[in-house]
């Protein structure tokens, strides 16, 4: 039994949610999102909450039950509050700046890295060593942050590179003579 799947997702005031078959739509202050649930689960909207139940007792239906409930909760939270990921840049001369719809990164390469900002995502750089990725879709915010981090991931000896603000980098000791 899915402990997460059992809980209905409450729809807060200011959010309009609709369930049409297995398509869940939510519209709020931040924007509009939808999620197409798999056929293994039944999604119902009643009493100001969205409930998810499995169609049968198969292993796949039980697996999709909790995942679908989490996805529905993510779109409800996305249209109300939105999501945000913070990245930090460590290293001498490493910096970031936003110019229009392009994030310009100086990461110690012979050239600057230009990252095209995807639609629906907002990137800000309050400091040259800090990047904030925000948007309403949790998956797209996380994917964008991961793509930016991938340009120069943190290395274990000096800690140089791009890392998440809450990430701990296990540091290694250098060679001994």
Same structural domain for residues 91 and 76? Answer: no
Residue 31 belongs to some domain of the structure? yes
Same structural domain for residues 75 and 134? Answer: no
Same structural domain for residues 105 and 150? Answer: yes
Do residues 66 and 37 lie in contact, with contact meaning Cβ atoms separated by under 8 Å? no
Q: In the chain, how many domains are there?
A: 2
pLDDT greater at residue 111 or residue 5: 111
> In the predicted model, what is the mean pLDDT of residues 117-122?
94
Looking at residue 2, its pLDDT comes to 65
Confidence category of residue 122, pLDDT binned at 50, 70, 90: very high
Residue 113 belongs to some domain of the structure? yes
Same structural domain for residues 160 and 87? Answer: yes
Contacts of residue 11, defined as CB under 8 A and 6 or more positions apart, other chains included, come to 17, 26, 45, 48, 49, 50, 76
Whether the predicted model's global pTM rises above the 0.85 cut = yes
Same structural domain for residues 57 and 100? Answer: no
Do residues 91 and 30 lie in contact, with contact meaning Cβ atoms separated by under 8 Å? no
> In the predicted model, what is the mean pLDDT of residues 76-92?
95
Same structural domain for residues 28 and 89? Answer: no
Confidence category of residue 3, pLDDT binned at 50, 70, 90: confident
Tens digits of per-residue pLDDT, 7-46? 999 999 999 999 998 899 999 999 999 999 999 999 999 8
Looking at residue 4, its pLDDT comes to 86
Same structural domain for residues 111 and 51? Answer: no
Confidence category of residue 176, pLDDT binned at 50, 70, 90: confident
Same structural domain for residues 90 and 52? Answer: no
Of 69, 77, 117, 82, nearest to 97 by C-alpha is 117
CATH of the domain at 75: 3.90.930.12
Residue 177 belongs to some domain of the structure? no
Looking at residue 151, its pLDDT comes to 95
Tens digits of per-residue pLDDT, 55-64? 998 999 988 9
Residue 173 belongs to some domain of the structure? no
Confidence category of residue 128, pLDDT binned at 50, 70, 90: very high
Same structural domain for residues 52 and 124? Answer: no
Same structural domain for residues 146 and 158? Answer: yes
Looking at residue 1, its pLDDT comes to 61
Same structural domain for residues 56 and 75? Answer: yes
Where a domain ends, among 80, 95, 118? 80
Q: Which domain holds residue 52?
A: 3-80
């Amino acid at each position: 039994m899915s402990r997460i799947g059992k809980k209905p997702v409450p729809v807060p005031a200011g959010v309009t949610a609709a369930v049409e078959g297995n398509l869940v739509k939510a519209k709020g202050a931040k924007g509009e999102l939808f999620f197409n649930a798999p056929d293994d689960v039944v999604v119902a909207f009643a009493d100001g909450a969205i409930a998810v139940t499995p169609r049968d007792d198969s292993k796949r239906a039980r697996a999709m039950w909790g995942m679908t409930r989490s996805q529905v909760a993510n779109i409800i939270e996305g249209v109300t509050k939105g999501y945000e990921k913070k990245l930090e840049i460590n290293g001498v001369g490493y910096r970031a700046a936003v110019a229009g719809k392009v994030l310009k990164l100086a990461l110690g390469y012979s050239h600057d890295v230009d990252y095209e900002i995807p639609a629906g995502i907002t990137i800000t750089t309050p400091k040259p060593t800090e990047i904030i990725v925000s948007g309403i879709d949790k998956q797209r915010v996380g994917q964008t942050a991961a793509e930016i981090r991938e340009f120069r991931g943190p290395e274990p000896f000096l800690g140089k590179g791009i890392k998440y603000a809450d990430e701990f980098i296990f540091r290694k000791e250098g060679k001994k003579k």
